[in-house]
Structure 1
Amino acid sequence: MTTPNSTSEPRSGARESDKIDGAVLKISSVVVLGAIMSILDVTVVSVALTTFSQEFDATMAAVAWTMTAYTLALATVIPATGWAADRFGTKRLYITALILFVIGSVACAFAWDITSLIAFRVIQGLGGGMLMPLGMTIMTRAAGPDRVGRVMAVLGIPMLLGPIGGPILGGWLIDVASWHWIFLINLPVGLVALAAAVRLLPKDEPSPSQTFDVVGMLLLSPGLALFLFGVSSIPEVGTIASARVLVSAGLGLALILGFVFHSLSKDHPLIDLHLFENRQLTIAVTTTTMFIIAFMGAGLLFPSYFIQVRGESALAAGLLLAPQGIGAMVTMPIAGRLVDKIGSGKIVLTGLPLIALGLSTFTQLTADSSYLLLTGSLFVMGLGMGCTMMPLMTAALVTLENEMIARGSTLMNIVQQTAGSIGTATMSMVLTNQLLDRPDAGTAIASREEPAIAEQVPQPMLEQGFGAAADAFAGTFTVAFLIAAVTLVPAFFLPRRRSTPTTEDVQPAMMH
């Protein structure tokens, strides 16, 4: 019987050795450099928002667009990445993305007002949006199906460093230099990554036969951008029942639905939705979506609690989050090796309970909760995260044939970006409503930024307000905890043995 692997070019490195060889490690180093820059720039700007507001004399609502514009640019460019990787080759496209990202970074450093900074963040996001899906494609192809788990663990490093290292790096650069350096730091790193990509990435073998799905691009990219714009607007307007939210998100969903019907009837769509006929990929996508909504949503709350309720600086808050990254760094390499041997199901079902356990502590927050307890809980969450994020990616991609990997990794990155935006918007809205129900909490939080308020309000009232604010955060963390707990349901159906491409897995997608 002829298997799919016998009729297509085998993936490099397949079954010859289960160890990660030097060639794959060199490729990994290039990909990790690019991914670190892209993901760090999602979070590094978060600590500079107040600085931007003062520097450019802009409102916080306007300044927030420096983050939102970057996110929307990521979502817009990701759909075309799979096709472009097949058409032009991953190496050429990766180098192009690096150049675009570095140009955008340098331009941001020389922005003269808030409008120019937002525009340059879009350029930066267009380059950054291609780096992660391309990196996943390059590494998966280089490693082969028997080592996907381990290379995904390597690629998980920047996913950890982004939310943890971003606030620390941003706070430190602003303290010792100026806000310009949170962007200029990408220039030397980007040049090193560019030189390494030219020298170390494997030669391209593009497939020019497929035509570009123009209609799909015109439906999906604006659809994603409009939907995420609507969702991202929820914290600012304070309610879902706003014309800005409903019209934007509704129109975006309509375009996305149009893309679904278009994709299912086209031979070579922008994103091949026939991939969902692969049961394992579908389960992995469902689990990933729920996990990221809970995890990324909670991730937004941690620094806010430390800064707004406990009065810590941005740098101190970033350092308090470090145990989460340390925990993930402990388990991620181990999980990567085990996934390749026993499948992703058992690993994820170990990680999710650890995440829920860590989150449970934050559902009981007070204004003076023990830092030892909180950092210990973050460490436990990190242990769980190391067993969850990249094993889910591996579960989705390991059963795909070589020619489907670019499309599969693009699909997973769209899922990540969308779920992350939904998670942060949901938790922001819940927290905002919790705080609105406790007016004294808002007064206490405002006193952190305005010393005059602290002088006018009696200390007992401030302490009561901080207690109320902690209750608001606890209530919001409870929502994240419940979502994380429910994520165990789809995770239960993940494979609990080693997975490789089979005729059953790949044939539906190949037929289309």
Structure 2
Amino acid sequence: MSQTAAPPAAPAPLDRTARTVIAVVVLGMITTVLDATIVSVATDRLAAEFAVPLTTVQWVMTGYLLAFTATIPLSGWAMDRYGARRVWLTAVGVFTAGSLLCGLAWSAPSLIGFRVLQGAGAGLVSPVGMAMVARAVGPQRMGRAMAVVGIPMMLGPILGPVIGGVLVDSVDWRWIFLVNIPVGLTCLAWSARALADERGAGRERLDVLGLALLSPGLVALAYGVTSVAAHSDSTTAVAGGIGLGVLLLATFVAHALRTPRPLVELRHFAHRGFATATAVQFLAVGVLTGAGFLLPLYHLVARGETELTTGLLLVPQGVGAALAMALTGRLVDRGRGRTVVVAGVVLLAVGFLGYTAVGSAPGQLYLGIALFAIGLGAGCIFAPTSAAAYAALDRTAIARATTTMSIAQRTGGVVATAVFATVLQHHLDATRLPGDAFGATFWWPLGLALAAAVPALLLPRPASPEGAH
């Protein structure tokens, strides 16, 4: 019966309803993902505008990150209680309102506060959107759907600095926020008309103790590790944040395993497909988020490029990611997901291996090829791991499973960025040559990419139709 081990060669095409849900979700997600990095090129301008030090301006990014992290755990419960459509409209509405207020900010504290509001909405957009897509397309068509939905997640960190550089240099810093408004309003109008009004259970109780442990734990951990990444002189901020975060998260794990309906369902990890797919995404998103910090900084510091030129030089990574996602979706739906993921991990490693040689000041063509390989690898990972995770679960479990995966992605990104930043600072302090310091640091994302090969090889093969349950 070995001939029947693979799924059907031609899964059903995506219907109009599924395509509409995917399009709405991509539109809503793209601005929230861009907004996480678009501010990075405006920090000097904001410091001058409000006459505050860079340490204060840093909270424009940190406040967004912490609010984003804090609201993710609520997404699964909120969808179960109120329905995904209502939560989606609320999340996009809050993000759009926050964008308007950020564009109207009159001081650094007001901008930081409005960025927190923005982040609170953005933290719900991604997991709710992913859950809506997963429910609309079903497991057999997940590969193609996630290949499209993954485009904002792959391209956002790359395009953010480019768009931010153009807006700051050509118009005004306020437009890095105001540009979200027409997109947000369009998404709201389209969502209200096109999405089915799926009612929630209405009586779903909130796991208050779980919320009191998980959200503060994630925020404390994120604060601690971002203090490391910012090279904070306060050991209390670093050790206290990380220590408190680990303690609260460990307590939450013990609580969640004893509670019938916890805020985040950790028992999903008993499914091999979900556990291995989440592990791959934790490591891969960590690599890519950390690289999103290292790669622009290398071109800015070691090669002396401008912000706009740096963004343009990173375009090969986005091209590679888009190409891979366009080509691999159908392979995933035809049961080749594990092969695609393993190939993606190898390509990631090859790309970062190329960047370990930057101490010898290689040409831009060489670096462009390495970036293209990194992009190809990234584009090969997201769709098949998402498909593998959701295929292991019942449809009713998707909302909370999406929350769990979003938390894993965010935690991996925050921790990896802090580690890479700390290693880079160590090498910069130890050598006078920035190229050598970056070359030594790029061994870390290479190692993390290779570590992702272990859970990638453990991803289950898809069951045959006869054996599916």
Same fold (TM over 0.5): yes
Q: What residue is the counterpart of 2:6 in the other structure?
A: none
SS at match of 1:267: coil
- Structure 1 residue matching 2:199: 3-state secondary structure: coil
Correspondences of 1:283-322 after superposition (within 5 Å): 283-322=276-315
> What is the alpha-carbon root mean square deviation over aligned residues?
1.9
Q: For residues 347-383 of structure 1, what are the alpha-carbon distances to aligned partners after superposition, in whole Å with 9 as ceiling and x for unaligned?
A: 1011110110111110010363200010111111111
Q: Are residue 206 (structure 1) and residue 200 (structure 2) matched?
A: yes
* C-alpha distance in structure 2 between counterparts of 1:344 and 1:423, whole Å: 25
Structure 1 pair 17–337 and aligned structure 2 pair: CA distance change class (3 A)? closer
Measure how far apart 1:32 and its partner are.
0.4
Q: After superposing the two structures, state which structure 1 stretch, 86-95 or 489-498, moved more.
A: 489-498
Give the counterpart of 2:143 among 149, 174, 187.
Answer: 149
- 2:149 matches 1:184: no
- Counterparts of 2:232 and 2:434 in 1: how far apart (Å)? 17
Contact conserved, 2:269 with 2:275, CA < 8 A, in 1? yes
Residues matched between the structures, number: 462
Please name the residue that 1:41 is paired with: 35
Which residue number in structure 2 is paired with residue 487 of structure 1?
452
Cross-structure match for 2:5: none
Q: Relative to structure 1, is the Cα distance of residues 406 and 84 closer, same or farther in structure 2, using a 3 angstrom cutoff? A: same
Per-residue deviation, 1:56:
1.1
Q: Residue type matched to 2:244 in 1?
A: L
Q: Which structure 2 residue ranges, 5 or more long, are not aligned?
A: 1-8
Aligned equivalents of 1:216, 1:316: Cα separation in 2: 46
- Cα deviation code 1:220-266 (max 9, x no counterpart): 00110011100110023368x92211111111111111111111111
Correspondent of 1:269 among 262, 275, 278: 262
Residues 6-30 of structure 1 show CA distances to partners (whole Å, capped at 9, x for unaligned) of xxxxxxxxx9962112221111111
Report the residue type matching 1:333 in the other structure: A
In the alignment, the residues of structure 1 paired with residue 464 and residue 392 of structure 2 have an alpha-carbon distance, to the nearest angstrom, of 6
Q: Is residue 340 of structure 2 the alignment partner of residue 347 of structure 1?
A: yes
Report the counterpart of residue 120 of structure 2 in structure 1. Answer: 126
1:160 aligns to 2:154 (yes or no): yes
SS in 1 for 2:359: coil
SS state at 1:208 partner: coil
Distance change (3 Å), C-alpha of 1:285 and 1:495: same
* Contact map agreement 2:144 2:329 (CA 8 A) in 1: yes
Q: Give the letter aligned to residue 193 of structure 1.
A: C
Q: Distance in 2 between matches of 1:312 and 1:499?
A: 52
Contact 2:229 2:417 in 1 (8 A): no
Equivalent in the alignment of 2:3 = none
Match of 1:431 in 2: 424
Moved more, 353-362 or 389-398: 389-398
Give, as a single letter, the amino acid of the residue that structure 1 aligns with 2:215.
Answer: S
Q: For 2:87 and 2:34, how far apart are their aligned partners in 1? A: 21
1:83 aligned partner: 77
Gaps of at least 5 residues in structure 1 are: 1-14, 441-467, 505-512
Judged with a 3 Å threshold, the aligned counterparts in structure 2 of structure 1 residues 238 and 116 are, in CA distance, closer, same or farther, namely closer
Q: What is the DSSP-based 3-state SS (H/G/I as helix, E as strand, rest coil) of the residue aligned with 1:203?
A: coil
SS in 1 for 2:72: helix
CA positional deviation for 1:80: 0.7
**1:8-23 maps to which residues of 2 (within 5 A)?**
18-23=12-17
Q: Which residue of 1 aligns with 2:166?
A: 172
Over residues 75-114 of structure 1, what are the superposed CA-to-partner deviations in whole Å (9 max), with x where a residue is unaligned?
1000011000110011111000111001100111111111
Note if 1:384 corresponds to 2:349.
Answer: no
Partner residue in 1 for 2:241: 248
Instruction: Evaluate the alpha carbon distance shift between residue 502 and residue 124 of structure 1 in structure 2; reply closer, same or farther with a 3 A threshold.
Output: farther
Paired letter, 1:175: D
Local SS of the residue matching 2:200: coil
Change (3 A) 1:488 1:501: farther
Within 2, Cα distance between the matches of 1:500 and 1:309?
54
Structure 2 letter corresponding to 1:497: P
| Aligned counterpart for 1:335 among listed residues 322, 328, 336 | 328
